[in-house]
Structure 1
Amino acid sequence: MEALLGSVRYRQGHLLGQLEAVGVDLRAEATLRTLTLDVLKSSEIEGELLPPASVRSSIAWRLGLDRAALPAADRRVEGVVAMLLDATQQAAAPLTDTRLFGWHRALFPTGYSGLYPVEVGAWRTGPMQVVSGPLGRERVYYEAPPAEALDAQMQQFLAWFNADQGLDPVLKAGLAHFWFVTIHPFDDGNGRIARAIADLQLTRADGSGQRCYSLSAQIQAERQAYYDLLETSQRGPLDVTPWLEWFLQCLGRALQAAEHTLAQVLAKARFWERHRLTPFSERQRQLLTRLLDGFEGKLTSSKWARIAHCSQDTAGRDMADLVAKGVLEHEGAGGRSTSYRLAPETEGP
């Protein structure tokens, strides 16, 4: 494992060095983008799609950053965000059963997972099987330890996690994720909590509360391999080397993807520096911020009118003014089908 671990640690240090070089405001922006991606993708792995603007709004508010025109978040979003921020912003604090119970309550504030009741904030009291497939032809992938063994097994896990065994902290993140999800101590939410535990340990490995890469986003992109490795490792012998190799490779790809995120943050900073003397209304600034943060879909005047709570005529005038200033450009067929995008950056003289 040594060469692979060394490669990951080098890339990790290189990325953190780049982050330190960009200044406080840009580090905060990179952290906001990364945490937003982490929340969205960790939930998406479990088949739950959260609204990106609400997630970003919740994280920005909790980090004391500007929310611009972002909407307020609902309880479902707030709970997932609260768990991840506690894991990454309070990484030095011990991991305890009380803390895990709090995360679980945050994930299921209504006591339900979809239409099904969940034992919230407590270890499960019944058997647990990981099953997939159509009704009547389900396949059992894994059967977790019995409920009566959970308290002893979780105390053993927590004692190991909070102790220093001299193990590289990145390897410990991979082992902790695997061990927790194998115990499967909750009725639901085990995958998301396992990934939060890994994020907590990776934050310790970084030595920084500022997140600049998302392991969950990379796991989501490799979701099938993730489940395949979990299954084969849980059903096989006690040798978890294949799981750890995949975990490190996946983390390496997450670090590589983070360089793109950092490039976007720098591009946003360059945009505002380039237009520092350009007069924008507050509504136009909000529109441009949404575009720079990665607006999903095509931006039309009618869509912006709904987001900004203004008339379509007002939205159209805002956009026409930005086109005249060379900030936006048209795309699409024109008329009601006209959409807008940021004009490409031009080279100076």
Structure 2
Amino acid sequence: MYIHERENWTNFVWDNDKLSPVLASVRHLQGRLLGRMESLGFDFIERATLESLILEVVDTSRIEGEFINPELVRSSIARKLGIENADFVQTPRNIEGIVDVILDATQNFDKPLTEIRLLGWHHSLFQTGFSGYQQIDVAKYRSGGMKVVSGIFGREKIHFEAPSADRVPHEMEQFLNWLNSEKRLDLVLKSIIAHFWFVTIHPFDDGNGRIARAILDMWLAKSDNSKIRFYSLSNQIFKEHKHYNNIIEKAQKGTSDITLYLEWFLGCFERALMASEQNLEIILDKAHFWDKHKSTNINDRQRLVINYLYDNYGKEVGFLRTSTYAKLTKCSSDTALRDLQDLVAKEMLKAEDSGKKTNYIIISPKNIRIPKIADEKTSVSS
């Protein structure tokens, strides 16, 4: 039996004694980090918010198996937020759409989430009327059944079956009424419950996960009472996406006691906030770096690669070699070498001899330690 088949299934209950310690820790981390952000000054707040929003947009898409170009996301967000010196780059509709949704959720968090607004988000995600090669209902609730499945054709595994289509309008009306009127719950808890409630109704043909996480972002912004973004929960969820899928599936097959679901999600949020402390150091270093070199003339290839090094701090690689530069920028080895030597001459990178090869490393204004991970492990996506 799925949870939505139970009578009064949305009368959720949980064990406060189990949740209180981690909720208190989360609230403490939120306050500490937001206070630190607010002390940095407008320019750094703007840049840190930009970097956090880029992570959110890229990783909420990665959770669904869609890999989008962070540089295109950067250009789109910077342009829409009116950030100075934002380059105009033509971006695909799918990127513009998810950027619009995340920005509306986090920057207009103080407005009610109405059905019209929600349908607008769905239209932003699927402006062509298609999900891949399949035509879907856009800006309207689904008209058919919905199953979450995995596996190859003929041997699929059904993880969840959503409420029938005829139930969706009523279920969504109840959900939105609760979302906009319930005032007693802690807003962090409310955001996590809202995510589960929405994804269990699964009201659309596609995009339910991304919209559920946008709702989560919106109510977390309410809990901060700030448009400043200093963490990305989707980034942490992507790191733990197997656990994320499993805990949702387990809760959807359980009872109205959602303690385990809330406990896992609060823990995930706590880990996201702790990771953001390190991310903030990188963001600040990156901001200082570009401020120091704001008058330095470099080309688009060089800018892309420096952003790549910062964006992949602690993930893939902390240095570049000529061959990696050439792959990332799709240029010849000779051009890559000239670009890298130019960056060394302009004191943006330093060259370190590594036996037969040369490693190029960012000259960090704040002297953060860039990890050195074997170059052959570097993943270069097209």
Q: TM-score, normalised by structure 2?
A: 0.81
Task: Give 3-state SS (helix, strand or coil) of 2:299's partner.
Answer: helix
Counterpart-to-counterpart distance in 2, 1:314 and 1:338: 16
- 1:303-322 pair list within 5 angstroms: 317=338, 319-322=340-343
Confirm or deny: 8 A CA contact 2:322 2:340 kept in the other structure. no
Aligned to 1:202: 220
Task: Give 3-state SS (helix, strand or coil) of 1:340's partner.
Answer: strand
Counterpart residue type for residue 187 of structure 1: D
1:187 aligns with 2:205: yes
Aligned to 2:296: 280
Q: CA offset at residue 239 of structure 1? A: 0.6
CA 56–270 in structure 1, closer or farther in 2 if over 3 Å, else same? closer
- 1:61-210 pair list within 5 angstroms: 61-66=79-84, 71-210=89-228
Aligned to 1:328: 349
Aligned to 1:55: 73
The partner residue of 1:340 within 360, 366, 372 is 360
Counterpart-to-counterpart distance in 1, 2:103 and 2:158: 33
Confirm or deny: 8 A CA contact 1:177 1:198 kept in the other structure. yes
Counterpart-to-counterpart distance in 1, 2:39 and 2:321: 33
Q: CA offset at residue 140 of structure 1? A: 1.1
CA 344–258 in structure 1, closer or farther in 2 if over 3 Å, else same? closer
Q: CA offsets, 1:169-195, max 9 Å, x none?
A: 000000000000000000000000000
Counterpart residue type for residue 311 of structure 2: G
Confirm or deny: 8 A CA contact 2:194 2:216 kept in the other structure. yes
CA 66–120 in structure 1, closer or farther in 2 if over 3 Å, else same? same
Q: CA offset at residue 272 of structure 1? A: 5.0
1:290 aligns with 2:286: no
Confirm or deny: 8 A CA contact 1:291 1:341 kept in the other structure. no
Q: CA offset at residue 83 of structure 1? A: 0.5
Counterpart-to-counterpart distance in 1, 2:290 and 2:211: 38
Confirm or deny: 8 A CA contact 2:322 2:333 kept in the other structure. no
Q: CA offsets, 1:48-98, max 9 Å, x none?
A: 111111111111111112456674311110000000001011111110111
Aligned to 1:258: 276
- Percent identity between the aligned chains? 47
CA 306–262 in structure 1, closer or farther in 2 if over 3 Å, else same? closer
Q: CA offset at residue 200 of structure 1? A: 0.2
Counterpart-to-counterpart distance in 1, 2:101 and 2:364: 38
Q: TM-score, normalised by structure 1?
A: 0.88
Counterpart residue type for residue 360 of structure 2: Y
RMSD: 3.0
Q: CA offsets, 1:232-281, max 9 Å, x none?
A: 100111111111111110000110111112101221244356668xx722
Aligned to 2:14: none
Task: Give 3-state SS (helix, strand or coil) of 1:243's partner.
Answer: helix
Confirm or deny: 8 A CA contact 1:131 1:139 kept in the other structure. yes
Counterpart-to-counterpart distance in 1, 2:366 and 2:148: 53
1:237 aligns with 2:258: no
Counterpart residue type for residue 350 of structure 2: E
Confirm or deny: 8 A CA contact 1:131 1:138 kept in the other structure. yes
Counterpart-to-counterpart distance in 2, 1:331 and 1:136: 54
Q: CA offsets, 1:134-162, max 9 Å, x none?
A: 21111111111111111111000000000
Task: Give 3-state SS (helix, strand or coil) of 2:182's partner.
Answer: coil
Counterpart residue type for residue 345 of structure 2: A
1:216 aligns with 2:237: no
Confirm or deny: 8 A CA contact 1:101 1:122 kept in the other structure. yes
Confirm or deny: 8 A CA contact 1:301 1:319 kept in the other structure. no
The partner residue of 1:4 within 22, 30, 49 is 22
Confirm or deny: 8 A CA contact 1:68 1:286 kept in the other structure. no
Task: Identify unmatched segments of 5+ residues in structure 2.
Answer: 1-18, 368-382
Aligned to 1:13: 31
Task: Give 3-state SS (helix, strand or coil) of 2:127's partner.
Answer: coil
Q: CA offset at residue 22 of structure 1? A: 1.1
